[in-house]
């Protein structure tokens, strides 16, 4: 899109040789992962959608947020095991995936799946507090679970309390003491299933309630839950020459989640402008990176 062509290169990190790896190189890899997830989901009749930053990138820029360094996809909570089995069976040889079904050290306080590109390596900035216990530590796309939640923000926030209280203990045991917090993981998963079942028919949906930091960053996040008709049914959108699914009303999702100030600006002459100030254009996850 013309309004992001100028000055749209962002340095994501440096490799061992000291060479800069930019957003275009990382986006090429993330796009491969997204297209592979799309292929596996279509083959196995699993509904998915670009979500969160990837949805905002699709709406604002027709693709990626230029300075973003990963991808976000959403599936329904009750499709978790179906997707796990599909990835085990059909994921291509260039890719790997991590989740609790295949990795008993998987942290329940992060998105339910990470699908990774094997021919890459990253070290995340939060690798001490949220260590990656998998064999493959490549560039990734997060797959998050959406479930029914209460209709009021007060009730919804109350449901997040358990994971917020358990997160510091989990981090100490897992990240600093290198222990496996099996009991906490089991408790969180049981709680997640109870809430998902209780609110299965709710008119509001959101990311699973065991993700504790949904309100971060506070300067952007406006809503934690969304009317079901904003999210479902997922719709196809043009995306780098292919059809990819995202939310039913992607504009309204982005408005509710990130606020009006995060949406692209269209002036009286029909020209489109980037809503983000330069100081907010920073990649967030990566400390070290290699693409092989």
pLDDT given at position 277: 82
Q: Higher-confidence residue: 4 or 41?
A: 41
Task: Out of 87-96, 178-187, 202-211, 259-268, pick the least confident.
Answer: 259-268
How many Å apart are CA 150 and CA 225, to the nearest integer?
A: 8
pLDDT given at position 4: 57
Give yes or no for residue 5 having a pLDDT over 80.
no
pLDDT given at position 7: 60
Mean pLDDT over each residue of the chain, to the nearest integer: 93
Domain that holds residue 234: 2-291
User: pTM above 0.85?
Assistant: yes
CA 239 to chain centre: 17
Average pLDDT of the residues in 119-130: 91
Average pLDDT of the residues in 230-251: 97
Query: Are the C-beta atoms of residues 78 and 196 closer than 8 Å to each other?
Result: yes
DSSP state of 176: I
Indicate the number of domains in the chain. 1
pLDDT tens-digit map of 42-80: 999 999 999 999 999 999 999 999 999 999 999 999 999
Task: Give CA separation, 140 vs 44, 106, 122, 124, 190, in Å.
Answer: 21, 15, 9, 11, 27
pLDDT given at position 144: 98
* Paired strand residues for 22: 11
pLDDT tens-digit map of 136-160: 999 999 999 999 999 999 999 999 9
Query: Are the C-beta atoms of residues 226 and 257 closer than 8 Å to each other?
Result: yes
pLDDT given at position 138: 96
């Amino acid at each position: 899109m013309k309004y992001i062509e100028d000055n749209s290169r962002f340095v994501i990190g440096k490799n061992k040789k000291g060479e800069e790896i930019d957003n275009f190189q990382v986006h090429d890899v993330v796009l491969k992962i997204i297209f592979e997830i799309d292929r596996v989901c279509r083959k196995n009749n699993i509904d998915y959608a670009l979500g969160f930053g990837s949805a905002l990138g699709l709406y604002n820029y027709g693709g990626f947020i230029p300075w973003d360094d990963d991808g976000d996809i959403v599936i329904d909570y009750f499709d978790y095991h179906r997707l796990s089995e599909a990835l085990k069976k059909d994921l291509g040889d260039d890719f790997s995936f991590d989740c609790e079904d295949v990795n008993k050290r998987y942290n329940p306080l992060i998105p339910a799946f990470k699908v990774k590109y094997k021919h890459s390596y990253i070290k995340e900035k939060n690798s001490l507090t949220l260590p990656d216990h998998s064999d493959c530590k490549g560039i990734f796309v997060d797959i998050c679970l959406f479930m029914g939640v209460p209709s009021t923000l007060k009730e919804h926030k109350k449901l997040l309390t358990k994971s917020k209280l358990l997160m510091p203990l989990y981090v100490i045991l897992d990240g600093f003491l290198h222990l496996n917090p099996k009991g906490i993981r089991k408790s969180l998963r049981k709680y997640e299933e109870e809430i998902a079942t209780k609110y299965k028919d709710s008119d509001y949906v959101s990311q699973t309630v065991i993700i504790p930091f949904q309100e971060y960053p506070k300067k952007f996040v406006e809503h934690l839950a969304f009317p079901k008709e904003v999210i479902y049914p997922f719709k196809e959108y043009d995306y780098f020459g292919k059809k990819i699914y995202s939310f039913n009303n992607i504009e309204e999702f982005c408005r509710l989640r990130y606020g009006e100030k995060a949406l692209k600006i269209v002036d009286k002459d029909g020209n489109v402008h980037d809503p983000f100030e330069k100081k907010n254009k920073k990649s967030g996850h990566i400390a070290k990176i290699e693409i092989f």
